[in-house]
Structure 1
Amino acid sequence: MVPTFTLCLLGSSALLLSTMPGAQAAWCPFPRVPHGRVSPRHYSYQTWDTVSVTCNPGYTLRGPGRSTCGAASRWDPPLPECKKEVTCPRPPSIANGLHTGLSSGSFSRGVTVSYSCREGFELLGNESITCTDSGRWSRTLPRCEAIGCQVPEVQNGKVHNVQSTYRAGDTLHFDCHPGHAAEGSDEARCQPGGIWDPPLLVCHRVRPCPMPPEVANGNHNGRDTEGFTMGMSVQYTCDPGYYLVGNAAVTCRASGNWSQPRPRCEEVTCPRPPSIANGLHTGLSSGSFSRGVTVSYSCREGFELLGNESITCTDSGRWSRTLPRCEGLWGALS
């Protein structure tokens, strides 16, 4: 059997096809994929020709990336589609929690984001969400709930109206046994993470306090009191020339101790003496100026001193008297 040859003209190209008698060449339609490109690109495709498909930026391939021209003039498997790429907005934030998408700029379909809670909180609900084909996040968001507290122990006392559970923010009150009392407040507040504030609940045996502590260069108003019991306070004052630093009062606590810290009396000092135009003072070499320190003023040559020659640091921390001034002599002006 002798094969025959057929000359096919396609545009400016000529293809010489060899066929067997009674056989006909199979041709496939041009592989058009909207928003995509095929490779290799020919004017026509016949049996066993294979093409690869890639999508334009912003589009995603749906289907196989390669297809072959079959004997029935059909592409097998069918040519894929290039669908516009689906993205989801930034994942929502949750109170007291974080998600794994904080460092990402875009979220394509199928991307999963996981949630976690900060210390002291536990995650309730879905641990993750996924970007769906519709551009929305799947499932409802979880929430972070503060870890609650257990019933605390009270040394020499007991919790008032005990509850089975305490959530963060709940407050409890406790009672002390007879002869005992709480030094501060008789309540505690549940903090996130299952911690009570204060962490230790203690009722101390009530004891009298000794004479209030002395402070240098100061005094208190409790010298005429015979005994001090829980809740009693004394006030401190400082001697002239000294000022009070800290709380002026201390209180007798249930344990028989005075509240801390006690105040102290610091010596009054004056700021650096003011300068005057065309004059000097004797305090230039000093670093501090205690009460009673006197500074004298003088004028440079050609000027005379008018006013007070000296000023003194007073008990209030201020300089006494008004400043002098230096006035030019007539002889110096001629």
Structure 2
Amino acid sequence: MTSVRTLLLLFLSSLLVTMGKAKCLFPVLNGNHVLSLESRLKNEFPDGSTAVAECARGYEAKDGSPLITCQNGKWSKVELKCEKMDCGPPEPQSSHMTYLINNGTLFGAYVKALCDTGYDLEGSSYRQCLVTGWNGRATCTLITCDNPTPPEHGNVMFRSPVLYNDVIKYSCQENYTLVGNRSLTCGDDWDYNFPPPKCEAIECGVPTIKFGNQTEGNPPYLHKSQATFECLPGYRMNGSATSVCEERGWSALPECVKAILLQPEETTTVVASTVTTDIATTNAVFCKEEEEEEEEEEEHFITVSQNNSVWIIVVAVLATLAIVCILCGLLHYNYKHKGSYNTGEDQRTKDGLLLYQTL
């Protein structure tokens, strides 16, 4: 009987001790820690039991114990230190590819793929560091443009294949003009920067001038065609009467301007007077020659207009005549004082003078 009581007391005491110790709830870890698979399979965690912590995906264990312990219904602090894994710089997937790394190469970071000038990126522009490494694939492809086709009545110069930034040049045949851009550049969008030009026949419009009419030339006015003009009555022409159809249009067209008509002025007749002088018989021939020259000058009439140049000529002639008259007067005066005298008789005839001179 005594032994039974002893066993009962021991059972009750152990039961009381067991009931005084609290269990721990299922551990919940945050951040870069997770519970191991073995610990996740347990149904209960009595006081004093342990669980195993692991680093989350993308993180690597560096230091500390992975065990946590249930003590009085609470889990101990996680001592395991986990850090992000480093994918390292990604290897270029093309010889003309580089990467722009702004946020490092640790787990979760992104890098941007770039291609050299003249190459186009095909695939994913960004790659991310994952548990398995860098994801995504991309490649750099050489940029080319389609070979151009020559325009009708024209030619095109290019190097095949046409690469990025290559320039092609167009030209037209004779009598045709280029409409559009003469040079095109292969762009980074695999196309040219402008549409191809055209070659159109050079043709000028119908030429017209004010106060004038066209006398030669008929449409259509193609390249090197000519048109000739004349001015209306009362107008005079400045410039060439013929204009040529050039690549940029007509060459310089003539201009018809109003003509200025000068009214005729009344003419003035100037007659030089004669100076007749009786001289001595020894100088009769000399004076006769002087008188004949004066008479020849008196027979000329000078017509004067309002023009300034004509007036200058008139003044010069009058001055010359005046000088001649003065010289003759001086000669006459000089000879008279050397012995000549006036008899008061009628002037002898020319035959008489000559006869007297011979005596």
Please report the TM-score for the alignment, with normalisation by the length of structure 2. Answer: 0.31
The answer to which structure has the higher helix fraction is 2
User: Is the radius of gyration larger for structure 1 or structure 2?
Assistant: 2
